[in-house]
Amino acid sequence: MPTAPEAGLTSLREVIDGPLHEIARRLSRFLAERWPHTALVIFTRECTGRPRKVAGATEMINKVTIAELEALKATVDPGQPLGTTASIAGAPRTVWVVRDAADLLLVLIPRTAARRFPEPALLSAIFGLVATSIRQQVAQASPDYLAESRAASSERERTIAELAAAHEAALVAILTPLRSTGLDDNRARLAAADSASAALLDLRTAQKSDQALSEEAPRAAFTRLRKDIGPMLRHHDANIEFVAPSGTGRPLPGEVAHAARAMTRTAVLAFTAQTTLARLRIAWTSDHASLLVDVRDQGTGDVDLTTLRRQLQGRARTLGATVDLDAAPGWGSRVTISLPLDPPADPSGESRLTTLNRREHEVLALLAQGMRNKAIAAELGITESTVKFHVTGVLQKLGVTSRGEAAALALTAGIGTPASS
């Protein structure tokens, strides 16, 4: 962390101004000088795809479990940083812990176990700003966050299913012979069977617990929406009607629930901005395949549909959703959004685009406009050799071999077009 206040603030801005899935690495670099550590973990249930954001020694961070983080969080009061010894990554370790007022947790594993926790109040203040940035990005459900979260959720679901199947098969294979009446030493057999049964139960419980992090029941998600937008409608003269989804729909992936709330809020804000509004109806309908958001009003019908469509389109494109807008002067307006619950096909390579950092996005956008390296360097104020370095990184991350293929992917995803550049 730089010592000059101006440099420190500039560096902190770089921490919070970038892709959410890389924020742990950026924060780790920022803190490394004043709080030397071998590993850093940010834990937040707000991020449904990746509740753990990690940086540091791979052999350590890969062992950190959600159960350990939950147990550690329970020992720390919000706003009261703590230096302690706790079980983390499967072993007792010295840790520096900060719990934000909104329940986000920061865990640092110092390089030297006996090192005193330096300036805990300052670390708490810094993490407060980082936590605020994380909450805002999640609440806004930006396209970058949604794409990253959806990719993470899909990968975790696949991994959980594979591990659960493998472990369950192994435990069942143990239980079958142990339960056989043809085996000797009945006492040992029963003890082993009880142990294996308990392990099997723990496995299934852990699977359900981890899956719960990435899903929301439709009714619960709608209740959160109603609570979120309630204050902005409280003093409105219009008759407000909320229609919740039935309790029988399929659980919503976390990123779909976040997007649905954000898009509903956007539509409601546009409708309530009209000079006259007699009635507003906000309804969600969910089934096994999709979530339908329906917002309609009885008003002047003078909603700016062009602006509203632009506000909704980024999230819709990321999740493969469809958006229909309609307004009739003197009668009212309607927004209908259909959000698929399963990840859309990705012919555009948008999931690969989320792996690019901010500078690589800028280079790709200019590359898609047909600029050569020299022109890109002049546009971004960097050297031509630096541009070549970024272009190489872009091609590797996108899995393509030419600038033309990269440009095609970018243009398909809406990067590099006049509206996005």
DSSP track, 181-216: TT-S-HHHHHHHHHHHHHHHHHHHHHHHHHHHHTEE
User: Is pLDDT above 50 for 420?
Assistant: no
Please tell me the predicted confidence (pLDDT) of residue 164: 62
- Of 295, 225, 294, the C-alpha closest to 257 is 225
Residue with tokens 């199947």: 165
Same structural domain, 252 and 294? yes
CATH number at residue 385: 1.10.10.10
Give dist(CA 396, CA 137) in Å, integer.
27
User: Is pLDDT above 60 for 341?
Assistant: yes
Please tell me the predicted confidence (pLDDT) of residue 38: 93
Beta partners for residue 282, in sequence order: 242, 295
Residue 98 domain flag: yes
164 burial via Cβ count (<10 Å: 0-12, 13-18, 19+) = middle
**With bands split at pLDDT 50, 70 and 90, how would you rate the model's confidence at 141?**
low
Give dist(CA 107, CA 5) in Å, integer.
24
| Half-sphere exposure (Cβ direction) of 378: Cα atoms closer than 13 Å | 4
Same structural domain, 220 and 334? yes
Q: Which residue has the higher pLDDT, 387 or 171?
A: 387
CATH number at residue 332: 3.30.565.10
Give dist(CA 131, CA 65) in Å, integer.
20
Concatenate the DSSP letters of all residues of 261-321 into one string.
HHHHHHHHHHHHTSS-EEEEEEEEEE-SSEEEEEEEEEE-----HHHHHHHHHHHHHHHT-
Same structural domain, 179 and 260? no
Whether the Cβ atoms of residue 183 and residue 189 lie closer than 8 Å to each other = yes
Whether the Cβ atoms of residue 101 and residue 44 lie closer than 8 Å to each other = no
User: Is pLDDT above 60 for 157?
Assistant: no
403 burial via Cβ count (<10 Å: 0-12, 13-18, 19+) = middle
Residue 263 domain flag: yes
CA-CA distances (angstroms) from residue 7 to 1, 10, 356, 380? Answer: 9, 5, 25, 21
Residue 31 domain flag: yes
Please tell me the predicted confidence (pLDDT) of residue 194: 67
Q: Which of 140, 156, 175 is the C-terminal boundary of a domain? A: 140
Element at 361 (helix H, strand E) = helix 358-368
Interval 130-150 mean pLDDT: 70
**With bands split at pLDDT 50, 70 and 90, how would you rate the model's confidence at 421?**
very low
Q: Which residue has the higher pLDDT, 197 or 209?
A: 197
Interval 400-408 mean pLDDT: 82
Give dist(CA 143, CA 108) in Å, integer.
30
Residue 330 domain flag: yes
Instruction: Quote the percentage of the chain above a pLDDT of 90.
Output: 24
In the structure, how many helices (H) and strands (E) does the chain have? Answer: 15, 12
Interval 232-254 mean pLDDT: 84
Please tell me the predicted confidence (pLDDT) of residue 143: 60
Whether the Cβ atoms of residue 127 and residue 30 lie closer than 8 Å to each other = no
**With bands split at pLDDT 50, 70 and 90, how would you rate the model's confidence at 108?**
very high
When computed from its CA atoms, the radius of gyration of the chain, rounded to whole angstroms, is: 25
Please tell me the predicted confidence (pLDDT) of residue 144: 57
Residue 297 domain flag: yes
Please tell me the predicted confidence (pLDDT) of residue 36: 93
User: Is pLDDT above 80 for 191?
Assistant: no
User: Is pLDDT above 60 for 231?
Assistant: yes
Q: Which of 340, 365, 399 is the C-terminal boundary of a domain? A: 340
Q: Which residue has the higher pLDDT, 376 or 272?
A: 376
Please tell me the predicted confidence (pLDDT) of residue 163: 56
pTM: 0.47
Residue 345 domain flag: no
Concatenate the DSSP letters of all residues of 130-150 into one string.
HHHHHHHHHHHT-HHHHHHHH
**With bands split at pLDDT 50, 70 and 90, how would you rate the model's confidence at 204?**
low
User: Is pLDDT above 80 for 415?
Assistant: no
Give the range with max mean pLDDT: 142-151, 206-215, 312-321.
Answer: 312-321
Same structural domain, 376 and 332? no
Q: Which of 295, 319, 340 is the C-terminal boundary of a domain? A: 340
Interval 342-361 mean pLDDT: 69
Same structural domain, 209 and 223? no
Same structural domain, 16 and 88? yes
Give dist(CA 418, CA 11) in Å, integer.
31
Give the range with max mean pLDDT: 158-162, 177-181, 208-212, 307-311.
Answer: 307-311
User: Is pLDDT above 90 for 101?
Assistant: no
Same structural domain, 28 and 87? yes
Give the range with max mean pLDDT: 3-7, 176-180, 227-231, 376-380.
Answer: 376-380
How many domains does the chain fold into?
4
Interval 326-334 mean pLDDT: 86
Interval 113-128 mean pLDDT: 88
Residue 417 domain flag: no
Residue 418 domain flag: no
Q: Domain of 79?
A: 5-140
pLDDT, tens digit, for every residue of 38-64? 999 999 876 665 677 888 888 788 888
Residue with tokens 């099997």: 200
pLDDT, tens digit, for every residue of 284-293? 999 888 999 9
Mean per-residue pLDDT of the chain: 80
**With bands split at pLDDT 50, 70 and 90, how would you rate the model's confidence at 419?**
very low
